[in-house]
Amino acid sequence: CSNNRKSRRNTIDKIKGLNQEIEHKALLLHEAQSNNDDEELQALKASLDIIQKELQKYKKSDTLTAFFDSDIYKLFKNIGYKGNNKITSEEWETMYRLFNSTFSSYTDFIHSGKSMTEDQIKVCMLIRMGFGESEMASILDVDLKRISRIKMQINQKFFGVYNAKDLVENLNKVF
């Protein structure tokens, strides 16, 4: 827990430092524009682009850390391992909201004009969260054969492959 806080603190500090660096480069950029210094302008734009990409990487990392540290994810993980409870519709709604805000491009992909059942959407989400088949079966309160059938259906819809085993690999290629 202490290491997670330290890591998160380091990430926040890095984000703050990158924001300060962006502000400084923006001032230099304005100055170069005022002086009509095209060479300096191009160098600053390139530098600013690199810093902004690095900032996005850290922000994404911080978002993922927050997702995997969330109580709702921990509840899903606990049920996936122990299988002693059932996830309520309210808990699924909470997970949908958090998942959609964290993995928006993935969510867009699984809703991209394909007719998906609720179970297929849930399996796609659970795959993205790193759950294995037995954990998915516990979370969805179904047997392993049902998980395999759902994965096969998803793989058929998105990748034209009629098997379950390649789905995770196929999704990982996209994301």
- pLDDT (tens digit per residue) in 55-108: 777 666 778 888 998 999 999 999 998 877 889 999 999 999 999 999 999 999
* Chain length of the chain: 175
> CA 23, CA 17: separation in Å to the nearest integer?
10
Angle subtended by helix axes 118-128 and 89-102, to nearest 10: 60
* Alpha-carbon span 47 to 74, nearest angstrom: 39
Q: What is the pTM for the complete model shown?
A: 0.68
Query: Considering only CA atoms, which of 72, 81, 71 is closest in space to residue 138?
Result: 81
- pLDDT band, very low/low/confident/very high, at 156 (cuts 50, 70, 90): very high
Q: How confident is the model at residue 3 (pLDDT cuts 50, 70, 90)?
A: low
CB neighbours of residue 53 within 10 Å: 9
In sign, the C-alpha dihedral spanning 126, 130, 132, 135 is negative
Residue indicated by tokens 């954990």: 135
61 Cβ contact list (under 8 Å, min separation 6)? 11
What pLDDT was estimated at residue 78? 92
pLDDT confidence of residue 127: 96
